[in-house]
Amino acid sequence: MSHNIEDYEKMELLRFTTAGSVDDGKSTLIGRLLYDSKSIFEDQYEQIKATSERRGEEEVNLALLTDGLKSEREQGITIDVAYRYFATPKRKFIIADTPGHIQYTRNMVTGASTANVALILIDARNGVIEQTKRHAIIASLLQIPHLVVCVNKMDLVDYKEEAYEKIKDDFSEFASKLDVKDVDFIPISALKGDNVVHKSEKMDWFGGTTLMYYLENVHIGSDHNLIDVRFPVQFVIRPYNDEYHDYRGYSGRVAGGSLRKGDEVMVLPSGFTSKIKKIDSFDGELSEAFPPMSVTVLLEDNIDISRGDMIVRVNNLPDNSQDIDIMISWFSEKPLALNGKYTILHTTKEARCIVKDIKYRLDINTLSRDLEDKEIKMNDIARISLRTTLPLFTDPYRQNRITGSIILVDEGTNKTVGAGMII
Amino acid sequence: MNYHLNHLKELESESIFILREVAAQFQNPVLMFSGGKDSILMTYLAEKAFFPAKIPFPLLHVDTGHNFPEAIKFRDELVERLGVKLIVGSVQQAIDDGKVVEETGFNASRNGLQTAVLLEELEKGKFDAALGGARRDEEKARAKERFFSHRDEFGQWDPKNQRPELWNLFNGKKNIGEHFRIFPISNWTELDVWQYLMLEKVDLPNLYYAHTRSCFKRDGIILADSDFINKRPEEVCEDMQVRFRTIGDMSCTGASLSDADTLEKIIEEVATTRITERGGRSDDKRSETSMEDRKIHGYF
């Protein structure tokens, strides 16, 4: 692990999601990534070793590292999203580790929402199964920019190239129906360490890189939308003191494009135009702001702007409508109600909405559309139409994951009941 | 122009976003300040988030009465500089008033008592959001904690029934009497914190740097000598060159032997060390799920 200032000033952050069950070796793989990058500490290791021995298990069970809650350790399953961290001199990694079973679709969606990379594990003995397809479909729906398919347990198929090629072909054929841009394949053995951090000597036929090399080098510079300027106003900063008497700063996190001093901008919903006077921060004035920076924007003119408004470029406006079509992932035990009313959160804006139409339910194992059974239950994904009380300034989710996403909140329980991607 | 942020700038931006979201979504937030490096980082990030305005919420310190004097001095100077209000909830007062009962014995700790005082202060101040500096890499129950963590009217955490958090959308809706715990630095690791504090040249209490102190060993943990701790006859103090990786109560915070007297050396030590920072906290060693159990009942 490097600790020179120059080195970690250049380090990037990469978020990836893994999905899978205990059997496909996911925990072993995460354990190996943590272990080989020296991210497991002695006391953590001693603790899980003691627990494994107490349970009468033969080997140290690395799954115990990733199962945090008491009930999970008792049942030996992962029921929630767990976040893991490790770093190499090049990058810091955040793993959103989620259960792979169909009844935990909502956890997979949650983990996928902020990921740069989806890591899909396939057992080399079993090939592409229903669960593999489900993970790939979710990665596609959530528009995770990069997909890496790890064909695991190669040691159990004698490291044969044919086994790997067959799975690669099967997956590629299936993936051609999906909306995924960047897919890579790596044959590995998480248990033996082949092609995880160190290049395998048993698979000379494989010309690609190790998984760690992939994670350290996959290009994530284009994962944000740098074209369409979108600045949702989050909080208005007014110091109320003599030094900053007339200061009105609009703070927020850039959701798209790049903002510069002097840019002509429009404020939505009012439609007033102005120029950027200054991009401010604690560290001084900035020449430019881009995603995902948190900054404060000051305008030349005194316009009434509040939380939920959006600053955009005059010649590049988002959609502005009270009717939106979304793909929704449903989280609640209580089914989605046709004509039901919910609170809707979009960027920094809050409104109410009514469910006007349920178009179809998506079978996330086959991608087929069910037009008959439209009862949307927990862990279902469906296409629906909403009518909102206020216009929302949106982009299609494919173009911008921030301005293209919403959540629905139950007005009785205050719980988050659904997550939607705008079509 | 190179359109990417390094990992520390991205973490900073995420934390500032959360802090502003709290100021926007809640009526009456408060920042839980322990005096440790994580709450110093939180305060620093809050200063950045609302610049040039002051931090728009008070700091709350639950004072066990067993603090390192250096930490209290640092706290008071920081509050003075920032011009924010400081609320002190006193565990000693709660003991004197008979609201809580102090543990006795050699490993007595006031750690558990903090929860009662914290909940009372939150209720008294009618705070609807309490910002904390917990990180997910610290402990396995914390690995599943949300940024916005809902608490019922008893201040309890329901880990199996948490709200999913997606994208940049945080749902802070609640009923009257309920509150949220908010953890803006969830995604930072111990190393990230140190690297950032060094790059930003943030002031820290001298306890974090190697110094000579009278200490003794108990169950493999080095503890600072103080009036707050009952020593067994065989526990003899000697001067050691130590520093603290976390700052909690003097009665339960372990020191480590170290000659790291600069941030550069601390980072080098953290980067190569093989024990987690809470490994020196005897309060976590009580059982495998002690953190989860305490969190369910309202601990930080």
Give the DSSP letter of residue A53. Answer: H
How many Å separate Cα B128 from the centre of its chain? 19
CB contact under 8 A, A114 and B175: no
B47 part of contact set with chain A, CB < 8 Å: yes
pLDDT higher than threshold 70 for residue B107 = no
Compare all CA atoms of chain A with the CA of B173 and give the residue at the minimum distance: A414
Chain A hits for B171, CB-CB cut-off 8 Å, are: 345, 407, 409, 414-416
Would you say residue A350 lies in a domain?
yes
Of residues B284, B291, B11, the one with CA closest to residue B147 = B11
Using only the alpha carbons of chain A, give its radius of gyration.
24
Sign of CA dihedral B188, B191, B194, B197: negative
**How many percent of chain A have pLDDT more than 90?**
67
Is A406 strand, coil or helix? strand
Contacting B residues, span 111-140, partner chain A, CB-CB under 8 Å: 136-137, 140
**How many percent of chain A have pLDDT more than 70?**
91
Region A157-171: mean pLDDT is 97
CB contact under 8 A, B144 and A13: no
By the 10 Å C-beta count (0-12 exposed, 13-18 middle, 19+ buried), A79 is classed as buried
Same domain, A166 and A54: yes
Q: Which domain holds residue A52?
A: 5-217
End position of a domain, from candidates A281, A313, A345: A313
A405 strand-pairing partners: A421
Q: Distance (Å, rounded) from C-alpha A41 to C-alpha A52?
A: 17
Residue B183's region, left for phi above 0, alpha for psi from -120 to 50, else beta, is: beta
Sheet holding B179-182, edge to edge: B86-90, B59-63, B29-32, B129-131, B179-182, B148-151
Q: Distance (Å, rounded) from C-alpha A85 to C-alpha A96?
A: 9
Chain B hits for A239, CB-CB cut-off 8 Å, are: 52-54
Chain A hits for B47, CB-CB cut-off 8 Å, are: 282
Would you say residue A351 lies in a domain?
yes
pLDDT at residue B222 in the model: 87
Chain A hits for B174, CB-CB cut-off 8 Å, are: 414
User: How many CB atoms are closer than 10 A to CB A239?
Assistant: 17
How many Å separate Cα A178 from the centre of its chain? 17
Same domain, A346 and A250: no
Q: Say if residues A384 and A337 touch (Cβ distance below 8 Å).
A: no
pLDDT tens digits, A75-101: 555 567 888 888 888 899 999 988 777
Q: Say if residues B103 and B114 touch (Cβ distance below 8 Å).
A: no
Region B242-258: mean pLDDT is 83
Same domain, A93 and A202: yes
pLDDT tens digits, A112-140: 999 999 999 999 999 998 888 888 999 99
Q: Say if residues B55 and B144 touch (Cβ distance below 8 Å).
A: no
Chain B hits for A106, CB-CB cut-off 8 Å, are: 164
Same domain, A176 and A33: yes
pLDDT at residue B92 in the model: 80
Region A197-207: mean pLDDT is 94
Of residues A191, A211, A196, the one with CA closest to residue A61 = A191
Q: Say if residues A336 and A327 touch (Cβ distance below 8 Å).
A: no
Residue in A110, A243, A307 nearest the CB of B164: A110
pLDDT at residue A391 in the model: 96
pLDDT higher than threshold 70 for residue A66 = no
A91-105, B50-64, B158-172: least confidently modelled range: A91-105
CB contact under 8 A, B24 and A235: yes
As a residue count, chain A comes to 423
The count of structural domains within chain A is 3
Domain annotation for chain B: domains and CATH numbers = 7-193+289-296 (3.40.50.620), 205-285 (no CATH)
CB contact under 8 A, B13 and A253: yes
> Any residues with CB less than 8 A from the CB of B220 and at least 6 apart, and which?
none
Region A137-163: mean pLDDT is 95
Distance from CA of B283 to the nearest CA of A (A): 15
Q: Distance (Å, rounded) from C-alpha A307 to C-alpha A251?
A: 9
Question: β-pairing, A288-289 with A369-370?
Answer: unpaired
By the 10 Å C-beta count (0-12 exposed, 13-18 middle, 19+ buried), B268 is classed as middle
Would you say residue A332 lies in a domain?
yes
ipTM above 0.90, yes or no: yes
pLDDT band at B43 (very low <50, low <70, confident <90, very high): very high
Using only the alpha carbons of chain B, give its radius of gyration.
19
pLDDT at residue B115 in the model: 84
pLDDT at residue A80 in the model: 74
Region A203-223: mean pLDDT is 93
Residue in B1, B137, B173 nearest the CB of A409: B173
Is A422 strand, coil or helix? strand
pLDDT band at B132 (very low <50, low <70, confident <90, very high): very high
Q: Distance (Å, rounded) from C-alpha A360 to C-alpha A188?
A: 38
Would you say residue A281 lies in a domain?
yes
User: How many CB atoms are closer than 10 A to CB A23?
Assistant: 11
Q: Mean pLDDT, chain B, as a whole number?
A: 85
Of residues A316, A378, A380, A35, the one with CA closest to residue A198 = A35
CB contact under 8 A, A43 and B279: yes
Distance from CA of B140 to the nearest CA of A (A): 5
Of residues A152, A157, A150, A153, the one with CA closest to residue A136 = A150
Contacting A residues, span 326-345, partner chain B, CB-CB under 8 Å: 331, 343, 345
Amino acid at A211: L
Q: Distance (Å, rounded) from C-alpha A403 to C-alpha A324?
A: 13
Same domain, A168 and A137: yes
Would you say residue A225 lies in a domain?
no
Q: Distance (Å, rounded) from C-alpha A375 to C-alpha A362?
A: 11
Contacting B residues, span 62-101, partner chain A, CB-CB under 8 Å: none
B68 vs B44, higher pLDDT: B44
Would you say residue A222 lies in a domain?
no
pLDDT higher than threshold 50 for residue A174 = yes
A50 strand-pairing partners: none
Mutate to test the interface with B, among A251, A295, A297, A310 (most CBs of B within 10 A): A251
pLDDT higher than threshold 60 for residue A70 = no
Same domain, A411 and A342: yes
Q: What CATH number is given to the structural domain containing A329? A: 2.40.30.10
Compare all CA atoms of chain A with the CA of B272 and give the residue at the minimum distance: A1
CB contact under 8 A, B276 and A41: yes
pLDDT tens digits, A315-368: 999 999 999 999 999 999 999 999 999 999 999 999 999 999 999 999 888 889
pLDDT band at A167 (very low <50, low <70, confident <90, very high): very high
pLDDT at residue A73 in the model: 52
Amino acid at B253: T
Compare all CA atoms of chain A with the CA of B165 and give the residue at the minimum distance: A110
Same domain, A327 and A410: yes
Amino acid at B38: D
End position of a domain, from candidates A195, A217, A239: A217
Of residues A311, A317, A391, A403, the one with CA closest to residue A351 = A391
pLDDT band at A17 (very low <50, low <70, confident <90, very high): very high
pLDDT higher than threshold 80 for residue A38 = no
Same domain, A257 and A390: no
pLDDT higher than threshold 80 for residue B140 = no
Same domain, A262 and A380: no
A3 part of contact set with chain B, CB < 8 Å: yes
Region B154-163: mean pLDDT is 80
**Backbone angles phi and psi of A130, in degrees to 5:** -55, -45
Cis status, amide bond into B52, omega within 30 of 0: yes
pLDDT band at B104 (very low <50, low <70, confident <90, very high): confident
CB contact under 8 A, A8 and B195: yes
Q: In Å, how far are A167, A189, B89 from A124, measured between CA atoms?
A: 8, 10, 58
DSSP element (H, E) containing A421: strand A416-422
Residue in A80, A85, A251 nearest the CB of B144: A80
Distance from CA of A307 to the nearest CA of B (A): 8
pLDDT tens digits, A257-295: 999 999 999 999 999 999 999 999 999 999 999 999 999
Task: Write the DSSP string, A248-301.
Answer: -EEEEE--BS-EETT-EEEEETT--EEEEEEEE-TT---SEE-TT-EEEEEESS
Would you say residue A109 lies in a domain?
yes
Q: Distance (Å, rounded) from C-alpha B137 to C-alpha B143?
A: 6
Mutate to test the interface with B, among A40, A138, A235, A349 (most CBs of B within 10 A): A235
Chain A hits for B290, CB-CB cut-off 8 Å, are: none
A351 strand-pairing partners: A344
pLDDT higher than threshold 80 for residue B110 = no
A45-49, B19-23, B102-106: least confidently modelled range: B102-106
B154 vs A100, higher pLDDT: B154
Same domain, A239 and A202: no
Q: In Å, how far are A79, A389, B139 from A68, measured between CA atoms?
A: 10, 41, 8
Cβ–Cβ pairs < 8 A, chains A and B? 189
Would you say residue A223 lies in a domain?
no
Tokens read off for B20: 């502003």
Distance from CA of B97 to the nearest CA of A (A): 35
Contacting B residues, span 200-259, partner chain A, CB-CB under 8 Å: none
Same domain, A392 and A354: yes
Of residues A180, A96, A165, A76, the one with CA closest to residue A133 = A180
pLDDT at residue A153 in the model: 93
pLDDT at residue A44 in the model: 73
Compare all CA atoms of chain B with the CA of A13 and give the residue at the minimum distance: B7
Region B156-172: mean pLDDT is 88
CB contact under 8 A, A106 and B137: no
Region A390-404: mean pLDDT is 97
pLDDT at residue A223 in the model: 86
Q: Mean pLDDT, chain A, as a whole number?
A: 89
pLDDT band at A1 (very low <50, low <70, confident <90, very high): very low
pLDDT at residue A205 in the model: 97
pLDDT at residue A2 in the model: 46
Name all contacts of A90-93 with Cβ < 8 Å and 24+ positions apart. A90/A11, A90/A12, A90/A216, A90/A217, A91/A11, A91/A12, A91/A13, A91/A14, A91/A215, A91/A216, A91/B7, A92/A11, A92/A12, A92/A13, A92/A14, A92/B7, A92/B189, A92/B192, A93/A13, A93/A14, A93/A15, A93/A16, A93/A33, A93/A215
Residue B166's region, left for phi above 0, alpha for psi from -120 to 50, else beta, is: beta
Q: Distance (Å, rounded) from C-alpha A172 to C-alpha B175?
A: 49
Region A163-192: mean pLDDT is 93
Region A26-46: mean pLDDT is 78
Q: Distance (Å, rounded) from C-alpha B71 to C-alpha A391?
A: 51
B176 part of contact set with chain A, CB < 8 Å: no
Q: Say if residues A84 and A70 touch (Cβ distance below 8 Å).
A: no
CB contact under 8 A, A8 and B6: yes
A68-82, A255-269, B183-197, B239-253: least confidently modelled range: A68-82
End position of a domain, from candidates A280, A313, A346: A313
Same domain, A359 and A413: yes
A68 vs B58, higher pLDDT: B58
Distance from CA of B231 to the nearest CA of A (A): 25
Q: What CATH number is given to the structural domain containing A80? A: 3.40.50.300
CB contact under 8 A, A239 and B53: yes
